[in-house]
């Protein structure tokens, strides 16, 4: 076949995403650290421990890997529980540590994108009710003010909240599996209260709005977004009106609610919605986190989950631990959907749990082809941030899901580059995907990836 090269736009951002709690280690001031100590909360009773040792020597080791991967951007986060370990008590040493991290990135030509809230809270915030209480809003704004005032000379791109719908659902709603079995919530505080879930979701969106305005007051030239986890949802039976209706209900919460909030100022309620003027048009770009597709089937037994249940596609390809259906076309479909917002888009997370790294090269090729396809239909994609750089502590799944381009042994902290990392390094260096890369790293795709 002819040699083909798919070029990406000049200045396209190539990087990885990391989360502070999952990489830093030994964060005893976080509600997630307390959650780890509870029996049955983490698979196999595993602990984060040193994680990737980013509060130690592991950070510089991983920054060197970013350079070897030819990354020109990186999405990292800062931990509220480190910056404000006690109410009203800020830790200047933690601020200095984050300044060192950002300076280290910039010295290597890596542009930082900083996330202000990535699932974890200080224990003192959790004890005050966390995101269940509107009391958190001025506290979060004060924290954001401190962070941006301290770091704005080193960072111009900010994410306010990571995956607000995921945070609310996994902490406040039981899941109903395909076989009808209910599974407990997997995030702290581990409650099962759909009404409280909506309250938490509303407060997260109000927290985003407060952060957006605080950042722009302190740094008018900043670019501020939110990292929104979107799933490509399809009906189990496209001909079933009930399945399609259930799909619409699930899509409204999972995908559309955040978009309606940040663009229209409309907050989803159990019945109707609430308009908040300060929330309207509060993103300069949209961060898209995309992993998998799910099918939705109507289920009259489950009003708690909007009369729908998520169903495994019998013909789908699934990743390790049944994390989700691998469906590259979903990334293209969601990018096309987000084009209608009129805002630029950064793919802030996309990755595959693949312990053996036998499917991740093909995953990268197929998903990057879909990104290229969207860009060539004038979807304004700013960059692609792979989840993740090196294996990390994957929340309730512990160390059982391996997403890293770099393999990590959490006991020894030894790191080694996977073949998928070699492929990604070539893509980032060339700002392109070509037949030579596919031939070397995913030869099984040679007959399909460059067609259509």
Distance CA 304, CA 288 (A): 27
Angle at 445 between CA 444 and CA 448, to 5 degrees: 135
| Domain assignment of residue 96, given as a range | 12-419
pLDDT > 80? residue 254: yes
The answer to the question of residue 120 being in a domain is: yes
Question: Percentage of residues in the chain with pLDDT exceeding 70?
Answer: 97
The answer to the question of residue 326 being in a domain is: yes
Supply the pLDDT for residue 320. 87
Give pLDDT tens digits for 204-249: 999 999 999 999 999 999 999 999 999 999 999 999 999 999 999 9
Q: Within a 13 Å sphere around the CA of 133, how many CA atoms are in the beta-carbon half?
A: 11
Residue 179: band (very low, low, confident or very high) from pLDDT cuts 50, 70, 90: very low
The answer to the question of residue 283 being in a domain is: yes
Centre a 10 Å sphere on the Cβ of residue 230 and count the other Cβ atoms it contains.
25
Q: Are 261 and 267 in contact (CB under 8 A)?
A: yes
The answer to the question of residue 99 being in a domain is: yes
Residue 184: band (very low, low, confident or very high) from pLDDT cuts 50, 70, 90: low
Distance CA 262, CA 245 (A): 25
Supply the pLDDT for residue 178. 44
pTM over 0.75: yes
Give pLDDT tens digits for 125-159: 999 999 999 999 999 999 999 999 999 999 999 99
The answer to the question of residue 239 being in a domain is: yes
Contact partners, residue 176, CB within 8 Å, separation at least 6: 182, 183, 299, 302, 304, 305, 309, 310
The answer to the question of residue 369 being in a domain is: yes
Domain harbouring 187, CATH code: 3.20.20.80
The answer to the question of residue 211 being in a domain is: yes
Supply the pLDDT for residue 177. 45
Cis ω for the linkage preceding 189 (within 30 of 0)? yes
Report the pLDDT averaged over residues 388-394: 98
The answer to the question of residue 430 being in a domain is: no
Centre a 10 Å sphere on the Cβ of residue 419 and count the other Cβ atoms it contains.
15
Q: How many domains does the chain have?
A: 1
Centre a 10 Å sphere on the Cβ of residue 416 and count the other Cβ atoms it contains.
12
pLDDT > 60? residue 180: no
Q: 14-23, 168-177, 178-187, 442-451 — which is least confidently predicted?
A: 178-187
Give pLDDT tens digits for 8-18: 999 999 999 99
């Amino acid at each position: 076949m002819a040699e083909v090269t798919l070029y990406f736009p000049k200045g396209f951002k190539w990087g990885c995403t990391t989360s502070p709690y999952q990489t830093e280690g030994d964060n005893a001031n976080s509600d997630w650290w307390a959650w780890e100590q509870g029996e049955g909360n983490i698979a196999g009773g595993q602990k984060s421990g040193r994680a990737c040792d980013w509060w130690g020597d592991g950070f510089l080791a991983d920054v060197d890997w970013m350079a070897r991967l030819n990354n020109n951007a990186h999405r990292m986060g800062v931990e509220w529980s480190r910056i404000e370990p006690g109410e009203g008590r800020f830790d200047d040493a933690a601020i200095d540590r984050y300044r060192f991290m950002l300076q280290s990135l910039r010295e290597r030509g890596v542009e930082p994108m900083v996330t202000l809230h990535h699932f974890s809270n200080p224990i003192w915030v959790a004890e005050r009710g966390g995101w269940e209480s509107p009391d958190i809003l001025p506290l979060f704004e004060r924290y954001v003010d401190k962070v941006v005032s301290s770091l704005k000379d080193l960072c111009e791109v900010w994410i306010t909240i990571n995956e607000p719908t995921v945070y609310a659902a996994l902490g406040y709603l039981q899941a109903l599996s395909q076989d009808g079995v209910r599974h407990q919530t997997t995030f702290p505080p581990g409650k099962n209260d759909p009404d409280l879930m909506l309250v938490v979701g509303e407060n997260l969106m109000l927290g985003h709005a407060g952060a957006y305005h605080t950042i722009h007051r302190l740094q008018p030239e900043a670019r501020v977004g939110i990292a929104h986890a979107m799933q490509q949802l399809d009906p189990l039976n496209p001909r079933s009106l009930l399945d399609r209706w259930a799909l619409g209900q699930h899509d409204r919460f999972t995908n559309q609610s955040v978009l309606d909030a940040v663009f229209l100022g409309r907050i989803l309620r159990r019945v109707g919605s609430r308009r908040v003027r300060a929330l309207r048009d509060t993103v300069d770009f949209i961060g898209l986190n995309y992993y998998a597709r799910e099918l939705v089937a109507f289920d009259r037994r489950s009003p708690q989950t909007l009369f729908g249940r998520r169903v495994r596609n019998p013909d789908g390809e699934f990743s390790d631990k049944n994390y989700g259906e691998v469906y590259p076309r979903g990334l293209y479909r969601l990018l096309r959907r987000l084009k209608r917002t009129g805002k630029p888009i950064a793919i802030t997370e996309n990755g595959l749990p693949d312990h053996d790294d036998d499917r991740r090269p093909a995953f990268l090729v197929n998903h990057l082809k879909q990104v290229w396809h969207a860009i060539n239909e004038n979807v304004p994609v700013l960059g692609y941030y792979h989840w993740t750089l090196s294996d990390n502590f994957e929340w309730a799944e512990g160390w059982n899901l391996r997403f890293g381009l770099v393999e990590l042994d959490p006991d020894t902290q030894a790191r080694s580059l996977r073949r998928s990392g070699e492929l990604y390094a070539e893509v980032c260096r060339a700002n392109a995907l070509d037949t030579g890369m596919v031939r070397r790293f995913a030869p099984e795709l040679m007959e399909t990836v460059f067609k259509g």
